[in-house]
Structure 1
Amino acid sequence: MKKIFLLFVITVLLVSCGNNDKVVLRDSIGKINKVLVVTKSSDWEGSLGKEIRNSFGELMVGLPQPESMLSVSQVAPNGFGTMMRVSRNILVIGIGDEEKYFVKNNIYAQPQTVIYVYAKDDEGVVKMFKKHEKEIIKTFIQSDIDRTQSLFRKNKLDDTQFKTLQNLGISLTIHDKFNTVDDTGEFLWLRHHLSSGIAKTGSNNILVYSIPLEDETKVSDNIVAVRNRIGKKYIPGSDPEKMYMITEEAYTPFTFDAVIDGKKAYETRGKWEVKNDFMAGPFLNYTVVDKKNNRLVVFEGFTYAPSVNKRAFLFELEAIAKSMKIQ
């Protein structure tokens, strides 16, 4: 009787598995902005590896210390076992029967992005990588943006508590470690006190405000002047009469075209400093052209974390900025 019952249970389990197309995947692992490259060691030590390292190792603009856009590690195909396969970002590259480039998600774990690049010979593989390198970097960074926003949504601050966001008709996915410094109804300043390692004396900061849209052709040219004006008005130093935030005069910020909430925007990266003081750090500014409301919506994040790398802190602010929704 026990044998019959056991056979019945096994049959039910097999049928249930056969009728369920969903496979429960493990949680992916790995730090943000890190990519595991699966390729032969000889390729990694040759021209292909050099091309990948140079591409992923391009320095981020606006940081006081040199930091690459993406960190990278390599494993040979025969070493790409169970533990390696749960990495969050994976690039599989090498020789195949034909030229191929494609992206797949959540193959071995979730969330996970796996990019495949194949060509018929070594020279072709390098060419295929160079052809798609910008798209590859963009895909991995967007994957990490999505992942970061997903984590923040689990502990999201309630937008309704901020007068400025309500008045401006803006929503953002901000995690609940940020505290209010100032919320006037026209200007919002939030601060997250960093609590890990040597950066525990530092902070991540968010500013949100809007200004009238006057001449759309001059928006990008005026970003530095606007942030200096806002810094003098709202971000004082220990002596408000003489000390306030400005754009670092010895470093020219970089401005790029961007899109936020489907709207034209400008992304500016540079360094801030406190006038007549020694405080400084990197900033990330998104100026969004909101034609519907005849205004510019500005999100700025800036970091103060002396003596430590700051890529991860700026990336957190970037993920929050790109969650913006404008009514």
Structure 2
Amino acid sequence: MKKIFTLFAISIFLLSCTGNDKFVLRGSVGKINKVMVVTKASDWNGDLGKEIRNSFGELMVGLPQPEPILSVSQIAPNGFGSMMKVNRNILIIGESDQEKFYIKKNVYAKPQTIIYVYGTDDASVIKMFKKYEKQILDAYIESDIEMTQGLFSSRKIDNANYKTLTNLGVSFTIPDNFKTVDDTGEFLWLRQHLTSGIAKTGSNNILVYSIPLIDEEKVGENIVSVRDSIGEKYIPGSDQETMHMITEEAYTPFTSEVKLAGKKAYETRGKWEVKNDFMAGPFVNYSVIDKKNNRVIVFEGFTYAPSVNKRAFLFELEAIGKSMQIK
């Protein structure tokens, strides 16, 4: 009887733990855009490691300094203990008895994304990684976007406080350290002063506005001219007569079609500068086609952070832009 009671008590305990993640999972650790790769040192130093580093190390478009999309580190399987298992983004890759690819969430910690890639030999492992390369990159980026949005949601601004957001019927998950520069009812400019290290003189900036939808087929090709006209009208330099923000003429922005707020949209990455001045930096622009209201809703985030890497700053702006909701 005592043995039965003990087994029953253990069963209840295990059920209560697995039924509620907060009793089981620790908080994950790890920097944004960082992936820990679990694989043998011989694989990491060979063709597989080279393939992974080349893939994750692809340079992010639009940044003035070369910065990879994702940073990677490696640990051997026998070193993948309890302390390592709480990393937020993990890639486990190596040989198995069959080819496999799958993604699991919140296995050892929360939030966490673990991707498993297996092949039957060295060539098979590389083939499987290359086959799912885009899906792997997208999964880690999406995971970090969601994590960043979750952090911001705990201290988000009240969108109803802004005339432009109210008039446009849009909302974003924007942290409350962004302050108003301009809010006309048609154009919103918010700014966050950077406070860390050498970037103290810099800022992250958000612009929100809309333009009429005249020709859907030409929205993508008109993004640069639209943002330049907005810069001339609303974003002056130190000399308001001769200086304003423009798209950097020496660098062609990269535009791709995406989906945002359930609608067709264009993501544009490039560099901005102030005409007749030395200020410059990267931007990410989302132009969302809202056919129902015959308009294009534009969110743009741009960073001014001289002398420091800017990937993390621009990623936060990307996360805010991708939180867009349209009423």
Which TM-score bucket, shorter chain as reference? over 0.9
Secondary structure of residue in 2 paired with 1:167: helix
Counting only pairs closer than 5 Å after superposition, residues 37-76 of structure 1 correspond to structure 2 as 37-76=37-76
Counting only pairs closer than 5 Å after superposition, residues 49-198 of structure 1 correspond to structure 2 as 49-198=49-198
| Structure 1 residue 138 displacement after superposition | 0.3
Secondary structure of residue in 1 paired with 2:118: strand
**Equivalent in 3, 10, 23 of residue 14 of structure 1:** 10
Counting only pairs closer than 5 Å after superposition, residues 209-220 of structure 1 correspond to structure 2 as 209-220=209-220
Normalized against structure 2, the TM-score is what? Answer: 0.96
Counterpart in the other structure of 1:294: 294
CA distance in 2 between partners of 1:18 and 1:105 (Å): 20
Q: Aligned partner of 2:124: which letter? A: G
Q: Aligned partner of 1:179: which letter? A: K
| Structure 1 residue 277 displacement after superposition | 0.5
Identify which range, 9-18 or 172-181, moves more after superposition: 9-18
CA distance in 2 between partners of 1:144 and 1:237 (Å): 34
Structure 1: runs of 5 or more not aligned: none
Per-residue CA deviations over 1:93-143 (Å, capped at 9, x if unaligned) read 000010000000100000000000001000100000000001000000000
Per-residue CA deviations over 1:165-205 (Å, capped at 9, x if unaligned) read 00000010000110000000000000000000000110000
Cα 1:275/1:134, change in 2 over 3 Å: same
Cα 1:177/1:12, change in 2 over 3 Å: farther
Secondary structure of residue in 1 paired with 2:132: helix
Q: How many equivalent pairs are there?
A: 321
| Structure 1 residue 19 displacement after superposition | 3.8
CA distance in 2 between partners of 1:131 and 1:215 (Å): 37
| Structure 1 residue 11 displacement after superposition | 8.3
Q: Aligned partner of 1:149: which letter? A: Q
Counterpart in the other structure of 1:236: 236
CA distance in 2 between partners of 1:116 and 1:19 (Å): 27
Structure 2: runs of 5 or more not aligned: none
Cα 1:84/1:240, change in 2 over 3 Å: same
CA distance in 1 between partners of 2:273 and 2:14 (Å): 62
Secondary structure of residue in 2 paired with 1:160: helix
| Structure 1 residue 10 displacement after superposition | 7.9
CA distance in 1 between partners of 2:32 and 2:94 (Å): 24
The percentage of counterpart residues that share the same residue type is: 70
| Structure 1 residue 14 displacement after superposition | 3.4
RMSD: 1.5
| Structure 1 residue 18 displacement after superposition | 3.7
| Structure 1 residue 16 displacement after superposition | 3.8
Per-residue CA deviations over 1:213-236 (Å, capped at 9, x if unaligned) read 001111111100000000000000
Q: Aligned partner of 1:311: which letter? A: R
| Structure 1 residue 13 displacement after superposition | 5.8
Cα 1:128/1:19, change in 2 over 3 Å: closer
Q: Aligned partner of 1:54: which letter? A: N
Counterpart in the other structure of 2:248: 248
CA distance in 2 between partners of 1:293 and 1:187 (Å): 17
Per-residue CA deviations over 1:154-174 (Å, capped at 9, x if unaligned) read 001000000000000001000
Cα 1:273/1:19, change in 2 over 3 Å: closer
Normalized against structure 1, the TM-score is what? Answer: 0.96
Secondary structure of residue in 2 paired with 1:221: helix
Cα 1:183/1:249, change in 2 over 3 Å: same
